[in-house]
Amino acid sequence: MRTDKSRKRFVFLCVAPATILFFLFMILPTLNVFRMSLYERGAYSPNETFVGLKNFQHLLQDAQFIRSMQNMILLVVTVTLITFAFALVFAAILTREKIKGQNFFRIIFYIPNILSVVVISGIFSAIYKPENGMLNSIIGLFRSMSDPILWKGEKLVIPSIIIAMVWQAIGYYMVMYMASMSAVPISLYESANLDGAGRLTQFFQITIPLIWTNIRTTLTFFIISTINMAFLFVKAMTSGGPNGASDVALSYMYSQKDAGLYGYSMAIGVVIFLFSFALSACVNKVTNRDTLEF
């Protein structure tokens, strides 16, 4: 009995500091965001006026907020699909094919992940520069560039951000999938070869099902983190411009806070929180399947 009580006391003492910190710096601020979304208040004013759901009603009529949500959803869906498709393909190639310098390619692909968003944004801003950027310079070798392409203009700014985000994320998930694929028994592939299954069939019928738990976990994590990463890339590369064309919900929330609409910005934060929670639940539901063992 004494040993059992001592063990429980030890576990409690280990868990208590993290629980207290989580409550103080995560739970309380989140609850305060929900509370403040029901008030009208300036960013630097202590005066609060209860307005109920007025802030949320205003959101439904705010064209720029709707546009920022559309941009955020587009970035989350597109970046996730492209990143995971390339990460899985590259991981399969480097794991199963006999390629010289596999470790070199692993390092090269992983390097973008260790760079900060500010550095990556600076690199791609230089690449996209209209006058003497690398992209326009390469295109200029094949055709006249009297009117340089505005890669960060209203029409191309979202695709340009997508490319930067995908480049930053592929290597990390490729390495994770390589670790999972390396654990798949080679005998399964040998049996599939004897049955006449091609590499593509083996990839979808053996590799993907056996590493599905890892894919599912990383997919949920990546989708949520992309919401934050989209804000960081937009802030560093375009600041929401031109004319709000690259604004995402988080950057628009910060702009409203800076404009003195603190309660309104908290309402945007609530919408983003609920959207993230609902999206995570949907992804977990859609990707749920029986775990295969080998």
How far is 30 from 208, CA to CA, in rounded Å? Answer: 37
Q: Which residues of 53-79 are buried (b: 16+ CB within 10 A; e: fewer)?
A: ebbbeebeebeebebbbebbbbbbebb
Q: Where are the alpha helices (DSSP H) in 145-292?
A: 157-182, 186-194, 199-202, 208-210, 212-237, 249-258, 262-286
How far is 239 from 229, CA to CA, in rounded Å? Answer: 13
How far is 65 from 68, CA to CA, in rounded Å? Answer: 5
Each residue of 132-170: pLDDT tens digit? 888 988 888 888 777 888 999 989 999 999 999 999 999
Q: Where are the domains of the chain?
A: 62-118+168-287
Question: Amino acid letter at 84?
Answer: F
Please name which of 40, 61, 58, 59 lies closest in space to residue 49, comparing C-alpha atoms. 40
Each residue of 195-223: pLDDT tens digit? 888 888 999 988 998 899 889 889 888 98
The residues, ordered by sequence, that sit 6+ positions from 206 with a Cβ below 8 Å of its Cβ are 184, 188, 189, 192
pTM for the model stands at 0.89
How far is 233 from 162, CA to CA, in rounded Å? Answer: 9
Residues in the chain, total: 294
Domain 62-118+168-287 CATH superfamily = MetI-like (1.10.3720.10)
pLDDT of 293 over the 70 cut: no
